[in-house]
Structure 1
Amino acid sequence: MSKLNGKREQARSEGLKVNVAILGAGSIANAMAETLNAMTHTREYGGLVNLYAVAARDAGRAAQFASRYGLPVSYGSYAELLADPDVDLIYIATPHSLHAEQGLACIEAGKNILVEKAFTANASQAQELLTAAERSGLLCTEAIWPRYMPSRAIIDDILESGAIGEVKAASANLGYPTHYKKRITDPNLAGGALLDVGVYTLNFVDMALSDRSQRHIDRIETSMLPYETGVDAHDSITLYYDDGVMATNAASMLAVSDRTGTVWGTDGYLIVQNVNNPESIDVFDKEHHMAKHYAVPRQLTGYEYEVAAAANAVLDGETECTQMPHADTLRIMELMDSIRGEWGLKYPFE
């Protein structure tokens, strides 16, 4: 376990930072390295995190990555990274199908983890990883960035204020042409639109309809258009709740969508531009007049919020982040399992 777990005051007094390592060297790993480098040059985060190491399956690739972003340490195997006693937090940046196995290996090695979405390939894997993390006392949290962003609090405040009345429906869509990427189309890597972009739309409506003590999904109506490899290419998902509220979701790995998220109420509605990285929030009244425009605070990349939350959780000795508790991660994974069950879509390893 990291020497910093549960030692926020000691870290502050001694000027210690949370050493973050990146497991994997793909595109999302590059985005995280850029984020961590930017964080170290800010007053807010500069004393919190340090971009320390990267590991890839190829030593040359890892070394190139480290050179590009100024990392002091690189490893040509994941095992070497896990054996490094100076690693406090590992960001897992590999395909969905590998998250459970690699996450368990990190936990067994005493490492705190921030796991890129989708958290795992299915709920069974998620439960195994979360159980191991909770028993270990180590941090394990899902890196689905809108859950950590300031925009979430803005949307929550609007809905709680009653500005649009009683919420009756929500919708979200997200689509990018990504079918040229093997990790997206390969069923062995848990590919498809659902785990890549559909997870964002489901999280958006889940956050918008967050009064789960009074609201539960009663039924799901869904269909998908399969890609030639058998994974889902276009998804349509409608969730019906037991109190009469409805949420519609659309996701695609073939087309560019408008990325809009909406919440409809009895007195108006709100529109969020870009559900996976909100750019603005507009509130409209019954007559479709804009009542208020909310600008989202400036950010480094948007990933800094999940990193800061994870680093602070490590220093506080927490096993989960309040922004994305284990129960929410598991519930979304169970929902995606149910949706795939309706489609009859199983990954080869299941």
Structure 2
Amino acid sequence: MMKMAIMGAGAIANKMAATITKMEKVEAYAIAARDKERAEIFAGQYGFARAYGSYEEMLEDPQVDLVYIATPHSHHYKCVKMCLEAGKNVLCEKSFTVNAEQARELFSVAHEKKLFLTEAIWTRYMPSRKMINDIINSGVIGEVTSLSANLGYELSQVKRIWDPKLAGGALLDVGVYLVNFARMVFGERDAEIHTSAVFKNGVDMIDNIDMIFPDGKTASMQCNVHGVLNRAGAIFGTKGYIEITNINNPEKITVFNDRYQEIASYFPPEQITGYEYEVEACVRALENGALECEEMPHEETVRVMEIMDGIRKEWGYEIPVQE
């Protein structure tokens, strides 16, 4: 049984806790927050065995097998580094770090210490990823030529989203899913990228991202943290197209022919929350002695971070790095 700890006790930590308490092969073992009382309340709510009032104290616990980082993006680098220096394996929430330089350094440390480290971007681990790829590979929609996707929520009440010091903005929070979606469909290859952004309170609020891949395939995408988008994805081919209901956690995958007639529909399996797939991947990797997950290799995490670095550079926007 893998004993899992969570670092940070915010909303996303609650979702992970609600997930692992219902999983086999995983024990919801420890929660660490900067406030001991908050950690104790969290532990009581989900049945964690240990509650710590500091990250450092939790990392001294020899029984912790895997730490899930649920802190803001701005703190991922520091938190992951703390874990690695304490000899702990790590599952770090997306976006992995603030920039590619931080990601490269962390993977280097993990490799040196022979510790497991991966990015928790759930769409990379979900069964829906294979389902979509299988439909494309079947040839039912012909040669794929383009895709479109959007992802957006009204997040005015989420303070970290609107704080540059906490690496807020649309790109790191929701745009990362779009970049990953395009690369999962069209392959992990470099693309020509054109973007634009609307800023508010010092962060990017709405981003438009266009990617042109070497073989002429294109991706047109938008993300938003100040408006509710329909989260739709579509993959277009020479014989038909695929529509995906909610690219962030696919609920239905529908196939249409070239006469716009629905010819098939698929539904991903029932899930706990969707987070269980990344945790299951961690369990498999650790059981096999791997230092990364095949679903999201270190190299791909770094490349996605490099792409987002390039996008911000095009805007002339640099996220303050926390020491």
Q: SS of 1:324's equivalent?
A: coil
Query: Superposed, which structure 2 residues align to 1:54-133 within 5 Å?
Result: 54-133=31-110
Q: SS of 1:38's equivalent?
A: coil
Match for residue 221 of structure 1?
A: 194
Query: Superposed, which structure 2 residues align to 1:1-350 within 5 Å?
Result: 17-39=1-23, 46=24, 48-210=25-187, 212=188, 215-217=189-191, 219-227=192-200, 229-349=201-321
* In structure 1, distance between residues paired with 2:129 and 2:243: 13
Q: SS of 2:22's equivalent?
A: helix
Give the partner amino acid of 1:66. A
Give the partner amino acid of 2:2. V
Residue 314 of structure 1 deviates from its aligned partner by 1.5
Q: SS of 1:172's equivalent?
A: strand
Residue 306 of structure 1 deviates from its aligned partner by 0.5
Q: SS of 1:138's equivalent?
A: coil
Residue 258 of structure 1 deviates from its aligned partner by 0.6
* In structure 2, distance between residues paired with 1:253 and 1:196: 8
- Is the Cα contact below 8 Å between 1:236 and 1:251 reproduced in 2? yes
Scaled by the length of structure 1, what TM-score is found? Answer: 0.90
Moved over 6 A (4+): none
* Matched positions, count: 322
Give the partner amino acid of 1:105. M
* In structure 2, distance between residues paired with 1:342 and 1:221: 9
Residue 49 of structure 1 deviates from its aligned partner by 0.8
* In structure 2, distance between residues paired with 1:90 and 1:216: 32
Give the partner amino acid of 2:310. S
* In structure 2, distance between residues paired with 1:21 and 1:320: 18
Q: Provide structure 2 residue ranges, at least 5 long, that are not aligned to the other structure.
A: none
* In structure 2, distance between residues paired with 1:251 and 1:322: 27
Give the partner amino acid of 2:141. I
- Is the Cα contact below 8 Å between 1:138 and 1:317 reproduced in 2? no
- Is the Cα contact below 8 Å between 1:204 and 1:261 reproduced in 2? no
Give the partner amino acid of 2:21. N
Scaled by the length of structure 2, what TM-score is found? Answer: 0.98
- Is the Cα contact below 8 Å between 1:20 and 1:51 reproduced in 2? yes
Residue 345 of structure 1 deviates from its aligned partner by 1.0
Residue 179 of structure 1 deviates from its aligned partner by 2.2
Q: Please give the per-residue CA displacement for 1:293-332, whole angstroms capped at 9, x wherever unaligned.
A: 0111111111100011112211221110011111111111
Q: Please give the per-residue CA displacement for 1:4-41, whole angstroms capped at 9, x wherever unaligned.
A: xxxxxxxxxxxxx00000000000000000001111xx
* In structure 1, distance between residues paired with 2:2 and 2:287: 8
Question: Aligned residues: percent identity?
Answer: 52
Q: SS of 1:62's equivalent?
A: helix
Residue 338 of structure 1 deviates from its aligned partner by 0.7
* In structure 2, distance between residues paired with 1:139 and 1:260: 34
Q: Provide structure 1 residue ranges, at least 5 long, that are not aligned to the other structure.
A: 1-16, 40-45
Q: Please give the per-residue CA displacement for 1:263-313, whole angstroms capped at 9, x wherever unaligned.
A: 111111101110110001011111111111011111111110001111221
Q: Please give the per-residue CA displacement for 1:28-62, whole angstroms capped at 9, x wherever unaligned.
A: 000000001111xxxxxx2x110000000011110
How much is the aligned-residue C-alpha RMSD, in angstroms? 1.0
Q: SS of 2:319's equivalent?
A: coil
